[in-house]
Structure 1
Amino acid sequence: MYVITPTWTSEAEVPPVKPGTEYWQSLLVVDDPDPEFRTYCHLFTTRRPWQRGCVDDLLRDTADDKVAGILITDTRMQRIHHPYDGGADVFLTTSDERDQMRDRHVDWLSSHPSGL
């Protein structure tokens, strides 16, 4: 699996790579005419073998709002889990796969009529 972590800056220059990660790519998120207000998202990846509990600390830090914007994917990047404080978004390959996951985890879903 891959764990993708963002670093947000106002500079296009890639910040130092964190230990255990590799630089992947940078995105210009806000292209303001004033360079002081441009925003870049620099993405770093870590490839890990899947083991039960291997991202528990990261998920806990996300729930506690210590980190944000992480993505957890399979190695083909076809399925994406995007946790955040208060929930998570899951992107799957087909609507059938989505429906199966929804049915398996009905207790986790929002009771709000919009599903949000």
Structure 2
Amino acid sequence: MTEQHDVGRRMSGDLDRDRLSALWQCRFPKGPPIAHELRAAYSDRWVRFHSLPGSKRYPETEDECAVVLHRYNTVLDELFEGTDVHVVTVAWSWEPDGPELPPRRREVHPEGARWTTLAHEDGPDPELHSYTHLYADRRLWRPGTVDAILREVADDVLSGVIISDSGLTRIHHPYDGGADVIATSPEARDRLRESHRDWLPRNPSGL
């Protein structure tokens, strides 16, 4: 095993939760790490790419799955080549420490350590309260390193996934059908968008 890969493995088991929370508050002060809310909060740096030609949402064959993974990994590599990344996956439960869904999260992200839990307790009925659990690890980015997670995202099994550089300066949020990117600046967003014009949504709103 190369030294570079060994460093990546050591990092994945060493999550500094307090630093990550403080860094998120500094970089993204408009709200918690809820992936689908980022595009509205940081719309000046946001761009969306679709995963399949014709804006088809779900892959139905292995060839289509290969296209989805290629598009995900191409953009991820442009964002994070040669850097460490934080990989964040999400589960939820009806009780703070109750059984978590989906169970596949633990299977495809065993390196993830509990980062934080977001409580949704606004309603008057305690039986309707829920809890969102975020798990994170830090690893060296390599194409294919998160393919197991991306496959579950593409099949709408996992949601809320966030991939970011170690300094949380840019965000990749894959979802079932595409990916939202929050770039470091409007200019960086525009360069990325121009690089992959064929993958942009047809909708004028960019969705």
Q: TM (normalized to structure 2)? A: 0.51
**Runs of 4+ more than 4 Å apart:** none
Alignment of 1:47-86 (within 5 A): 47-86=138-177
With CA pairs under 8 Å and 6+ residues apart, which has the higher RCO, 1 or 2? 2
**Counterpart Cα distance in 2 of 1:78 and 1:15:** 33
Q: Deviations for 1:1-57, whole angstroms, at most 9, x for unmatched residues?
A: 1110111112223768x4322111111235212111112111110111111211122
Look up the match of 2:197.
106
**How many equivalent pairs are there?**
115
- Where does structure 1 lack aligned partners over 5 or more consecutive residues? none
- Where does structure 2 lack aligned partners over 5 or more consecutive residues? 1-84, 101-105
Q: TM (normalized to structure 1)? A: 0.88
Alignment of 1:1-116 (within 5 A): 1-13=85-97, 18=106, 19-116=110-207
- Percent identity between matched residues is 47
CA RMSD of aligned residues (A): 1.8
Decide whether aligned partners of structure 1 residues 72 and 39 sit closer, same or farther in structure 2, where only a CA change above 3 A counts: same
SS in 1 for 2:140: coil
Greater helix content: 2
**Counterpart Cα distance in 1 of 2:174 and 2:157:** 12
**Counterpart Cα distance in 1 of 2:111 and 2:191:** 34
8 Å CA contact 1:14–1:26 kept in 2: the answer is no
Decide whether aligned partners of structure 1 residues 93 and 29 sit closer, same or farther in structure 2, where only a CA change above 3 A counts: farther
